[in-house]
Structure 1
Amino acid sequence: MWKIVVAFIAFAALALFILTKSGGDIDLGGESHGISSSHEPAASEAASAAVATAVEAASMPASAASQ
């Protein structure tokens, strides 16, 4: 009986490892209801756009920034 439990734990650990390494979108937090769960990718796109703008501003020469 204990061998079945050990095999189940090993199989579950292997499955989680494979799914996380394959780039699957795994959320172990349970069911998520509401608007916030569907708008998270847009927030990351806005953040990356803000970073790109900040990098461009930082790389701009001082004479060009004052104009």
Structure 2
Amino acid sequence: MWKLIVGFIAFAALALFILTKSGGDIDLTGEKHDVAAGGHDTAASAPASAPVAASAAVEAASAPASAASQ
């Protein structure tokens, strides 16, 4: 049983060593909750909402005309 534990520890140490030397982005400090550090780009999501706003404006402009025709 102790051989399995020693083997696991050796394998984990070897894996961490290889990942750190190969340039892997390893962060052992735990889960982060920093909003500013996130990779979320708000400018990239703004054009995606533009067609929705444009179609809403077209529907709002056509609503009085369709109400008058009924």
Shorter-chain TM-score: what band?
A: 0.5 to 0.7
- Name structure 1 gaps, 5 residues minimum: 40-67
Residue 26 of structure 1 corresponds to which residue in structure 2? Answer: 26
Offset of 1:36 from its aligned partner?
Answer: 4.1
Secondary structure of the 2:18 match is helix
Secondary structure of the 2:6 match is helix
Larger C-alpha radius of gyration, 1 or 2?
2
- Which letter maps to 1:15? A
- Which letter maps to 1:16? L
User: What does 1:41-60 align with in structure 2 at a 5 Å threshold?
Assistant: none
- Which letter maps to 2:20? T
Q: Partners of 2:27 and 2:37 in 1: how far apart?
A: 11
TM-score between both structures, scaled by the size of structure 2: 0.50
Q: C-alpha deviations, 1:5-63, integer Å up to 9, x for none? A: 00000000000000100101110001101224337xxxxxxxxxxxxxxxxxxxxxxxx
Residue 35 of structure 2 corresponds to which residue in structure 1? Answer: 35
Q: State, as a whole percentage, how many aligned pairs show the same letter.
A: 72
Q: Partners of 1:22 and 1:16 in 2: how far apart?
A: 10
- Name structure 2 gaps, 5 residues minimum: 40-70
RMSD: 1.5
TM-score between both structures, scaled by the size of structure 1: 0.52
**Which fold has the larger relative contact order, with Cα–Cα distance below 8 Å and residues 6 or more apart in sequence?**
1
